[in-house]
Each structure stands twice: as C-alpha cells, then as structure tokens.
Amino acid sequence: MAGIKPVRLGVNVDHVATVRNARGGIHPDPVRAAALARAAGADGITAHLREDRRHIRDADMARLKAEVDLPLNFEMAATDEMVAIAETIRPNACCLVPERREERTTEGGLDAAGQAGELAPRIARLKAAGIRVSLFIAAEERQIAAARALGADIVELHTGAWCDAVAEGRQGAADAEFARLQAGARQAAGLGLEVHAGHGLDFETAAQIAAFPEIVELNIGHFLVGEAIFIGLEAAIDTMRAAIAAGRKAASGGAAA
Ligand code: PXP
C-alpha cells in the first residue's frame, strides 16, 4: 500500500450561508469562507444549492465558481432546474443527492438503482457539458453497480449512518457500517469509479476513513464550520488536514502523507 496519494479535502460552506441567512443580511459570506479555506489548504469547495435555497443561493454558487480558484463540487438534486443551473455555472463536478424538503440535511443516499430512468438523461446532460458526475449513495452493492451502469465518474459514499453510530457509542452498528463502507469503497474502485466519502465526519472519523486506500476525497462541512466558532476556520481545516494525513499514513505503513 506504500505510495498512496494524500486524500483531497473538499470544504462544504453551506452552513456559513445558514448563519448568514438567519439574519437575512450578507454576513458571514460563504464565498469569503471558501477563499479562506483555499488559503488554509482545502483542495476543493463544495456547496449544495437546495431546491428551497435554505442556505446556498444561486448567486453564491455563481460567485464560488467565479471568485474562488479551486474545483467546485456543486451538490444538487437531479432535477431539470438544477441541471440547467449547472450547465450555466459549469462546476468541476456535480454531486447528485436525494432531497426532501422536510429533512434537516441529506438523510439518505440517492436511489441510483431505483431511479435510473430519471437519472440517466440528467447525467448525460451534465457529462455533455463537461461536468464530472458524482452520485451520493449508500455503500450498497446494487447502488454502486447502478452508479457504474449510469456512467457516473465518482461515487460519494454516505458516511452519515456510521458517524451517527460512532457518536452515539453504538459500537456494533459502527463496526458494521464501517465494514460496509470498506466493502463499498473496494467494489467502487474495482469498477473504475473514483471514490469519495462524506457526511457527518469529524476529526476522528475522517482520520479513520482516510485509511481506506480507495478514498480520493472527503467532503466535510458542518463539523468544520462548527469547530470554526471555537478555533477559527483556518485552524479547523489545518487540524482536519493533519488528522486525515495521519489516518492515511497509518494505512500506508508510513509511506504516504
Ligand atoms: N457530502 C454530501 C453529498 C452532502 O450532502 C453533505 C451535506 O451537505 C456533505 C458531504 C457534508 O456533510 P457534513 O456537513 O455533515 O460534513
């Protein structure tokens, strides 16, 4: 396993916009947070333009693309409205996520297997626009196979159930979820898919999952923005990078960083 590449860190700035929108003004600006994240060593910026615009808004997404010199990962529901916006903004990648209006966050993975008919034309449009396509899915064999069949470039494995089990001290469930993620990462990489992961990650869980050699990128938002309240965004990103590098290094027998 020697020589595996460092894991890329995508910083999700949605919740900077959540705080801004709580007061209805322009502060704090998620684009300023993205620029700071870049200065702190982030490899990419992630933002989710939800159907209800509860945090990131259309203008934020356009400014993230225009003003921040990092690959932009545009999270969105697989709707014609969002595909049209992505075709205009032309992010580096679109990560298709399930979206329900009443949920607090993206609660489950995309049903790539069950919704293949609706996803296929939208994926084709994004790819035709030169945008890489990622599907946010649970680490389930049939979902990963469906992502491959749909021509996705990337799968982002949903780490939420694992992180919840870890946080709640449910060791058996945490171990089972971790094993499921590991098997999913292997399956996806074996099919030629780029493997990302995200949702609910903190310093400890990010370090643990960075040990999977198949993982190319982690997308992390809520914890970093929360931690920024206490230690600042730059320090939070710095500590996260160090945690991820340590997890990766342990996996590669000390050869990678
Ligand atoms: N990846 C995807 C696809 C997501 O929907 C989210 C949440 O918006 C994240 C990563 C980041 O999750 P968190 O904010 O819990 O770090």
Q: What is the CATH number of the domain that holds 47?
A: 3.20.20.70
Q: Give, using CA atoms, the residue closest to atom 3 of ligand 1.
A: 136
Domain that holds residue 60: 8-251
pTM to 2 decimal places: 0.95
pLDDT at position 255 over 70: no
76 lines ligand 1 (CB under 6 A): no
The whole-number average pLDDT for the span 166-180 is 98
Evaluate whether residue 1 is within a structural domain: no
Give the tens place of pLDDT for each residue, 33-54: 999 999 999 999 999 999 999 9
Give the tens place of pLDDT for each residue, 61-107: 999 999 999 999 999 999 999 999 999 999 999 999 998 756 666 66
**Domain count of the fold of the chain:** 1
Looking at ligand 1, which atom is closest to the CA of residue 134? Answer: 3
Beta-carbon neighbour count of residue 247 at 10 Å? 22
Evaluate whether residue 3 is within a structural domain: no
Strand bridging mode 194-198 / 132-137: unpaired
The three-class DSSP label of residue 100 is: coil
Evaluate whether residue 162 is within a structural domain: yes
Burial per residue of 35-63, b for 16 or more beta-carbon CB atoms within 10 angstroms, e otherwise: bbbbebebbbbbbbbbeeeebbbeebbeb
Report d(CA 96, CA 92) in Å as an integer.
Answer: 13
Q: Tell how far the Cα of 8 is from the centroid of ligand 1, in angstroms.
A: 15
How far is C-alpha 109 from the chain's CA centre? 12
What percentage of the chain reaches a pLDDT higher than 70?
94
